[in-house]
Amino acid sequence: MEGKRSCLSISIPSDLLRRIRELTLSILTNLSNGQSPVVQIDRFRNYCTETSGNCYCNCGISVGKELLTLQRECHTRRLDVLLRVLLVVQTLLQQNRHGSKRDIYYMHPTVFKEQSVVDRAINDICILLQCSRHNLNVVSVGNGMVMGWLKFSEAGRKFDCINNPNTAYPVPVHVEDVENIIGVARYILVVEKESVFQRLANDSFCTRNRCIVVTGRGYPDVPTRRFLRLLIEKLHLPAYCLVDCDPYGIDILTTYRFGSMQMAYDAKFLCVPEIRWLGVFPSEVEKYCLPQQCLLPLTREDKTRVEAMLLRCYLRREAPQWRFELDLLLARGLKCEIEALSVQSLSFLSEEYLPSKIQGGVYI
């Protein structure tokens, strides 16, 4: 049994149910014949640390296979979890219902033990069935928010952000049901965290700058990334990203642009290659005269994270300026938050920093 990622996701429930039947029938046939079933799961990655440049991480092809058999105890447990989750997915598809990853976890908490076990099984199932997670009717609990010059509808419900462009609306969980997107904005701004999003809302940033602002409130969930991708595809607007000047902020930035390793099999449907880094850059900390109290030393964990990020092939290949900034962050050994810019004034971020950088083309 082999799972190969095709270039297009299958989205018809009947096709998925057929594949589920074929997979389970193959396992049952092997067991009834006294044979150990072997499940082959393709593996994908969105980056590597190959320094020669001979990598294929951006091609959406499998970089190897993982074979699960009953001959290894750890594989037996993984197959047990996979089949339990697959049964839930089959029920969701048959009944045309949706469930969250958390819902699935609580169906067998003593078996699963932790959420990450369910997450891994869902990713394995997507690879085996050649589909995306939403095709399984498994949804994430949405954390993202959006505001600005935008209208859209989701499953018949209308969202008119334009009517009050500085009011936050939740990012749709069922992004595949979003339609009738209308935008009269000049650009899309993605901000790392909710506190900055609220600062911009309080300062009526969207009204003054005729834009759309999105936040994933930290590491973005799948609906936020899919919704952002959809907006850019439909509205053809430039997109900028504002993150903290620290390893976690820059890692969040790379998640938006290049995708995550955990969902590398679906990177082409989730990443936003058009997004540009707006700040805060390590190279501009001195320019804005941030006092020493606003700067924090990098921890050992921070340094390890930066060193690992510097090895990622996509930064060498597609974003050398990002690598320069990471090198500088590591060399100076200091980090800061976006909010540190408020040392200039409470409205400095919304009235001076962001408009001047966007209008002046100061992004990478």
**Active-site residue set:** 106
DSSP 59-80: TT---EEEEEETTSHHHHHHHH
DSSP 74-106: HHHHHHHHHHHHHHHHHHHHHHT--EEHHHHHT
What pairs with residue 65 in β-bridges? Answer: 42
Residues 6 or more apart whose Cβ sits within 8 Å of residue 74: none
Question: Is the peptide bond between 280 and the residue preceding it cis, with omega within 30 degrees of 0?
Answer: yes
Strands 99-100, 138-139: pairing is parallel
Does residue 228 contact residue 214 with C-beta atoms inside 8 Å?
yes
Report the C-alpha gap between 105 and 111 in whole angstroms: 9
Given its phi and psi angles, is residue 217 left (phi above 0), alpha (psi -120 to 50 degrees) or beta? left
- Sequence-ordered alpha helix ranges (H) in the chain: 13-32, 73-95, 101-105, 109-112, 115-129, 194-202, 205-209, 222-235, 247-258, 267-270, 300-310, 313-318, 320-332, 348, 354-360
Burial class (CB in 10 A: 0-12, 13-18, 19+), 143: middle
What pairs with residue 43 in β-bridges? Answer: 64
